[in-house]
Amino acid sequence: MRPLNLQYLELTTLFGVFICLTLFCFTRQDVLPYLVTTIIVGILYYFIEIPRWHIILGFLVFVSLVLFYIFNIKANLVWQITGFSFGSLFIGISLLLIFGIPITTLPKPTGKYQVGSAFFKDIVIEGQNRDQYLQIWYPVDSKVDVKQCTQRTLWQQLYEKESKHLKTLAFFTSFLRGIKTHAFHAAPLAPSQDKFPIILYQHGLVSFTSENTLLMEELASHGYVVVANSYQEHFKASKSDSLNFSQPISEKELLKLLKQAKTRIDVANLMRDYALSSEKMNYLVANRTKDARYILNNLATILHRKSNLKNIEKHIDFNKTGIIGYSLGGAVAIETSLGLSCTAGINLDGIHYGAGQKEHLAIPFLSFNKALTRGANDHLLKHTHHQFIDITIKDTEHIDFHDMTYLFPIFKWFKASGNVDAKALSNYRNRTILDFMNTHLKGLPLSLNENEEGLSIELKTTTFNDDLNP
């Protein structure tokens, strides 16, 4: 079980509110000392710990009690029981949020390097009326004293001032400042006789660069430079386009058909037909793929102009590049892998949208699928002779391939994620991706594992399948 950084003053404040509620509703004892004590603890919590929106409902209960006390409002037994019931419910919801969306300690990367991080803004994509925001993770020598550098907090892009398009989220995400990552801002790049391979990460439809921080840090700790670009500006621009898109079948209808599918080939053909008819997604992926290829082809120049890390571009092997994408970013990874823009590609439960759906893979590829879409991208095997590894993990949902389900158990409580061990899945995902990249970017032997405690894994390695629709 991942450790929680419990905020004891936060819990004590809610406990004090519950005591005040109980005394106010069911005794004639003077609650003033308890109200004052709870106020003092609440003030200490505000200044010492990280205030969180999670306890707002508990706070509203307390404010109501204070007002009732100040104005000496009396209530009969029915109203007392009603007030106690609703007050207890609100306090319970606050506790549910505290433990369901906790401040937690992230697992330490397993590689020999420490991890550095840097950000580059205003990266102009040639021929496009939008800018890019880049974040990178890179190896730092284990002997370097990183305490002199600023330690990054989780998903900082969601609440930092620079995130113009995410300001409305800042209220709900600022508590993430309490979750420290293992990356240090602008720490010196590790010296190495060998140049570091580079991996480009593509986030989901409406998401952010560091959505899978655990994966980024793990790869960087093993000697990779990982670059992720943000598509917030891209998505905003596409929404304002005056284009009309035909709509495929609804997701509800698709879900019904997937449940009726009997074989992998049925699923593959169904998902391909669905993707071909999804004009808006194909449009988005085609444009994102252009951006991804531009970044891969011009990354040396971008780093030279923008980076404050001395000569970082001289320590990167731009001939050994990988691409990884989650969800819609997985489609971008697939599309990019249809050409020779990179050396190896990985998809985290994405569907093959884009403009190249009748082309074939030009590089080795690894694809993760949730249980329901087992074999969804098998059409990529047609006419290709490059290694294609397909991994389906039982009892998973789409969101299970995102860090959120590892960090926040509330998703499992409310059945938004699958009935799978989130820690085991995260570890398996990161280790398998590392093995695959090590094979194709560093020349190390591939050691895929079908046995992982807590997971049921179906692994398929092949290079050709001619039983699919043309």
Lowest model confidence (mean pLDDT) among 57-66, 123-132, 199-208: 123-132
Q: What is the DSSP track for 420-431?
A: S-HHHHHHHHHH
Instruction: Please check the confidence at residue 45 and state whether its pLDDT lies above 60.
Output: yes
Lowest-confidence pick of 101-105, 162-166, 269-273, 343-347: 162-166
Task: Kindly state the greatest CA–CA separation across the chain.
Answer: 81
Sequence spans of domains, the chain: 8-100, 114-462
> Mean pLDDT throughout 463-469?
51
Residue 164 confidence (pLDDT) = 57
pLDDT category at 171 given cuts 50, 70, 90 is: confident
| Arithmetic mean of pLDDT over the chain | 88
Mean pLDDT of 313-321: 91
Segment 136-145 shows an average pLDDT of 92
Model confidence over 414-443: pLDDT tens digits?
999 999 999 999 999 999 999 999 999 999
pLDDT grade for 237, boundaries at 50, 70 and 90? very low
- Residues 447, 348, 273: CA angle, nearest 5 degrees: 120
In this prediction, residue 73 has a pLDDT band, given cuts at 50, 70 and 90, of: confident
Cβ contact 365:386 at 8 Å: yes
CATH number of 114-462: 3.40.50.1820
Q: Is the dihedral of CA 407, 409, 410, 414 positive or negative?
A: positive
- The pLDDT-based confidence of 302 (bands split at 50, 70, 90) is confident
Smallest CA-to-CA distance from 432 within 462, 440, 40, 303 is with: 440
Lowest mean pLDDT: which of 4-8, 120-124, 270-274, 463-467? 463-467
Q: In what order do the strands lie in the sheet with 150-153?
A: 150-153, 180-185, 114-124, 131-140, 225-229, 196-202, 316-326, 344-348, 365-370, 388-393, 457-462
In the predicted model, what is the mean pLDDT of residues 171-188? 93
- Which has more confidence, 121 or 8? 8
Could you tell me which residue, 303 or 127, shows the higher pLDDT? 303
How confident is the model over 340-360, as pLDDT tens digits? 789 999 999 999 998 777 777
pLDDT digits (tens, 9 = 90+) for 380-412: 877 677 888 999 999 999 999 999 999 999 999
